[in-house]
Amino acid sequence: MSGAHVSLLPVDDGLLDLLDTPTASPAWPGFPDARRPALSVVTTPESADRAGGPAGEADPFVRQVIDAACERLLRARTELDAADQHVGDGDLGSALARGARAWLDDPGEGDAASLLQELSARCRRAIGGTSGPLYGMLLLRAAQALADGASWGDALRAGVTGVRELGGAQPGDGTMVDALQPAADAADSGIDAVVTAAREGAARTSDAVATKGRASYLGERAKGYEDPGATAVVMWLEAVREAMSQQ
């Protein structure tokens, strides 16, 4: 997440000597002198995992649908951050908005599979936290399935299976999987059924005690709050439906 972290450490001379001991560790760049702390800037290697270029014919329809989903998540930033304050660390809206911005500032091109693969790479890089890798996985598996000729329903199911493998969450654990899995199950019945199933699944998270993610630290106290990750899924699925109806 973005933000600042302050750690307070009671020290004595012995500990200060240890803190001043030179080290080549990248995670602890050390200070010139712990008695006079200075700011250190650590540069992290930029992951160069840009997806391959467009494979098939450009698909402007899918591109518009992705744009619409991203625009919806940009608008939802404050709302989702506020919802995440109840059960998490209050950054989900900002995190997903970073992903949406990374796409909208420079939308990808190509066929449906290439678009999803590029979106996956952007999400992985821009969102961070827990959601970044999970959305990266969702979109990558869906892209791979589409490239192999799968239907949209099978692509969504492949993506959700990937999210479950990576995060280890099952339906009922109080995460975005509670919206994604019912949506995937309903995928052959059309987008209206998908949105309805996701919305019902998300609503159920407010009755459950979360067993995955930060909300699980709260136990019973997270009850009564819908999981914001599940809410976000409903939001972008609604945007997908709206964009599809305008075609």
Give SS3 for 58: coil
Considering only residues 95 through 124, tell me which ones interact with ligand ADP, judged by CB under 6 A: 95
Residue 212 interacts with ligand ADP (CB under 6 A): yes or no: yes
Instruction: Fill in the amino acid letter for 12.
Output: D
Stretch of 35-43, 92-100, 177-185, 216-224 contacting Mg ion, by CB under 5 A: 92-100
Extract the tokens encoding 162.
């990937």
Closer to ligand ADP by Cβ: residue 137 or 194: 137
**What is residue 149's three-state secondary structure?**
coil
Work out whether 76 is an interface residue with ligand ADP (CB under 6 A). Answer: no
Please, what is the minimum distance in Å from the beta carbon of residue 229 to Mg ion?
9
φ, ψ for residue 219, nearest 5 deg:
55, -130
Pairwise CA distance, residues 111 & 143, whole Å? 10
Cα–Cα distance between 81 and 245 in angstroms, integer?
A: 29
* Interacting residue with Mg ion among 77, 81, 87, 91 (CB under 5 A): 91
Instruction: Select from Mg ion, ligand ADP, none the partner in contact with residue 177, using the beta carbon and a kind-dependent cut-off of 5 to 8 Å.
Output: ligand ADP
DSSP 219: G
Nearest to 11 by CA among 47, 33, 43, 35: 35
Q: Quick one: CA dihedral 164, 169, 171, 174, positive or negative?
A: negative
Does 136 sit near ligand ADP (CB under 6 A)?
A: no
CA distance 122 to 108: 10
What is the smallest separation between the CB atom of 168 and Mg ion, expressed in angstroms?
17
In Å, what is the CA distance from 27 to each residue of 6, 32, 41, 43?
A: 16, 15, 11, 11
Residue choice 17, 33, 49, 89 for contact with ligand ADP (CB under 6 A): 89
Positive or negative CA dihedral for 211, 193, 107, 112? positive
Minimum gap (Å) between residue 233 Cβ and ligand ADP: 8
The verdict on 230 binding ligand ADP (CB under 6 A) reads yes
Nearest-angstrom CA–CA distance, 118 and 139 = 9
226 makes contact with ligand ADP (CB under 6 A): no
Residue nearest ligand ADP by beta-carbon distance:
229
**Chosen residue from 69, 73, 76, 91 binding ligand ADP by CB under 6 A:** 91
How many chain residues touch ligand ADP (CB under 6 A)?
25
Interface ranges with ligand ADP (CB under 6 A): 1, 84, 88-89, 91-92, 95, 129-131, 134, 163, 167-169, 175-177, 212-214, 227-230
Interface ranges with Mg ion (CB under 5 A): 88-89, 91-92
